[in-house]
Amino acid sequence: MRSVLELIELKRDGGRHSAEELQRLVDGFVSGEMPDYQMAAWLMAALLNGLDGDETVALTKAMTASGRRVDLSGVPGIKVDKHSTGGVGDTTTMVLAPLVASCGVPVAKMSGRGLGHTGGTLDKLESIPGFSVTLDPEVFKRQVRDIGVAVIAQSADVDPADKKMYALRDVTGTVPAIPLIVSSIISKKVAGGADAILLDVKTGSGSFMKTEQQARELAAELTRVGELLGRTVVCVMSDMDQPLGRAVGNALEVREAIATLQGEGPGDLTELCLALGSKMLVLGGVATDEEDGRDRLLDSIASGRALETFRAWVTAQGGDARIVDDPGLLVLAPIMHMVTGDRDGYVAGFDAEGVGRSAMALGAGRAHKEDEIDLGAGLVMEHKVGDRVEAGDVIATLYTSDASCLPEAEARFKAALRMSDTPVNPPPLFHEV
């Protein structure tokens, strides 16, 4: 039997592991027998030399088995989970969870926090006064059964291998490797009890996968591994060449989610939620096809059922649902600053990562896992790709509690904006399904 050192050397030299060897690496790391520095070395060797298809499946299975598996068999219906590979201003979960639940597909979701320039659903939910993201497993299940939706923090005992490995990857330059991303995402979803998985793979400047080719490879591998583990998987590839919707920041995005559930949200966010939601209704066996799914979603928005489900969900998790009727109860950062355009022209594009970093400078994001964030900080984009603007027009409104960060945030926002002298068409929402 090879030692851990020999396993690292094997991967360094381009060799391949047996399923038993990968299991031993995962178990040894989770138990603490294998120290961080050895796992870090192995992760880098895996990033540089790759894992083949069988190795990726074996790693995913070992990670899935590293902790408790959530048993949702007591909740009737096909449990569909949606996962997005890290976006800027991606408000979709907060809209989709109650929207899809209001149409009869149960949503039992574990979510993460934001890191770097990308946001996380948990932080957004915590900007609702009183909202709790930790629920006892039995309460979690009961809530899904009773009102159809619950979203909680990833619990420490579900897929602990992913938690420890991701924390290490984050600080060792080993995030962007397809086999590592696939094993991380699929193990987490399978351990979390999903029957079907809808994956929204982002492409463009704000995402891990910068090119469409890479994103397509990631989508294909996610689908293959998920299906080998017995799950139905559907992938869409959506554009990240500009942030989704207009709001980037936690409380600001809650406000945007409420507007979208009322049928008054930004066009691109609404469209993406309808497209993803209709697929979830089909996966969940509620809609006969996507067109039927779309009709059901639109009907739920128009009738107010989607918003009622949002209210019930917020209330069940301890939050103040009065924010729905009185958005003033959502606390925004006190200092508002308008960014104005320097020239006439058409908005041609935004570097989504740059916009995310501008919001981070305002206090809305974390540089380190343990950093405190300002839930009321962020920005609202007053124009999107394709809009005509004149010099002096307001192009964004910044919100912060610390005026000293405004010059950096404004400079980052302006640097992220690309202008054109000739008219520009808005980008497609999807590259491929």
Q: Is 169 tagged catalytic?
A: yes
Residue placing its CB nearer to Ca ion in the complex, 192 or 249: 249
Phi-psi region of 141 (alpha: psi -120 to 50; beta: other; left: phi over 0): alpha
Q: Is 188 tagged catalytic?
A: yes
Residue placing its CB nearer to ligand URA in the complex, 75 or 182: 182
From ligand URA, Ca ion, none, which one binds at residue 247 (CB under 5 to 8 Å depending on kind)?
A: Ca ion
Catalytic residue among 159, 162, 239, 268: 162
Stretch that binds ligand URA, among 51-59, 124-132, 179-187, 367-375 (CB under 6 A): 179-187
How far apart (Å, rounded) are the C-alpha atoms in residues 354 and 145? 41
Q: Which of residues 150-169 bind ligand URA (CB under 6 A)?
A: 166
Q: Per DSSP, what are the bridge partners of residue 335?
A: 400
What SS3 class is residue 188? Answer: helix
Of 66, 184, 250, 358, the one binding ligand URA (CB under 6 A) is 184
Stretch that binds ligand URA, among 7-15, 180-188, 384-392, 408-416 (CB under 6 A): 180-188
Q: Order of strands across the sheet with 80-84?
A: 80-84, 196-203, 232-239, 430-432
What is the nearest approach in angstroms of ligand URA to the Cβ of residue 84? 9
Q: Does 247 bind Ca ion (CB under 5 A)?
A: yes
Q: Residue 52 is encoded by which pair of tokens?
A: 């083949």
Q: Which of residues 384-423 bind ligand URA (CB under 6 A)?
A: none
Residue placing its CB nearer to Ca ion in the complex, 91 or 300: 91
Q: Is 117 tagged catalytic?
A: no
On whether the CB atoms of residues 270 and 182 are closer than 8 A, the answer is no
Q: Does 185 bind ligand URA (CB under 6 A)?
A: yes
Tell the burial category of 303 from Cβ atoms under 10 Å away from its Cβ (0-12, 13-18, 19+): exposed
Cα 185 off chain centre by: 11
Stretch that binds ligand URA, among 139-147, 181-189, 254-262, 403-411 (CB under 6 A): 181-189
From ligand URA, Ca ion, none, which one binds at residue 91 (CB under 5 to 8 Å depending on kind)?
A: Ca ion
Of 86, 265, 277, 356, the one binding ligand URA (CB under 6 A) is 86
What is the nearest approach in angstroms of ligand URA to the Cβ of residue 354? 20
Q: Does 206 bind Ca ion (CB under 5 A)?
A: no
What SS3 class is residue 52? Answer: coil
Q: Please state, as a whole number, how many other Cβ atoms lie within 10 Å of the Cβ of residue 288.
A: 10
Indicate the DSSP class of residue 233.
E
Q: Does 225 bind Ca ion (CB under 5 A)?
A: no
On whether the CB atoms of residues 154 and 188 are closer than 8 A, the answer is yes
Q: Does 181 bind ligand URA (CB under 6 A)?
A: yes
Q: Does 365 bind Ca ion (CB under 5 A)?
A: no
> What type of residue sits at position 222?
L
Residue placing its CB nearer to ligand URA in the complex, 59 or 180: 180
Catalytic residue among 84, 111, 184, 358: 184
What is the nearest approach in angstroms of ligand URA to the Cβ of residue 327? 31
On whether the CB atoms of residues 397 and 340 are closer than 8 A, the answer is no
What SS3 class is residue 335? Answer: strand
Residue partners of 258: CB distance under 8 A and separation at least 6: 307, 310, 323, 324, 327
Angle between helices 4-12 and 19-31 (to 10 degrees): 120
Residue partners of 34: CB distance under 8 A and separation at least 6: 4, 25, 28
Q: Is 184 tagged catalytic?
A: yes
Q: Is 369 tagged catalytic?
A: no
Residue placing its CB nearer to ligand URA in the complex, 111 or 250: 111
From Ca ion, ligand URA, none, which one binds at residue 85 (CB under 5 to 8 Å depending on kind)?
A: ligand URA
Q: Does 85 bind ligand URA (CB under 6 A)?
A: yes
How far apart (Å, rounded) are the C-alpha atoms in residues 357 and 25? 35
Q: Which of residues 183-202 bind Ca ion (CB under 5 A)?
A: none
On whether the CB atoms of residues 8 and 45 are closer than 8 A, the answer is yes
Indicate the DSSP class of residue 427.
P
How far apart (Å, rounded) are the C-alpha atoms in residues 12 and 48? 8
Nearest residue to ligand URA by CB is 184
Q: Which of residues 76-105 bind Ca ion (CB under 5 A)?
A: 89, 91
Q: Which stretches of the chain bind Ca ion, using CB under 5 A?
A: 89, 91, 244-245, 247
Q: Which stretches of the chain bind ligand URA, using CB under 6 A?
A: 85-86, 166, 175, 180-181, 184-185
Tell me which residues are annotated as active site: 83, 162, 169, 184, 188
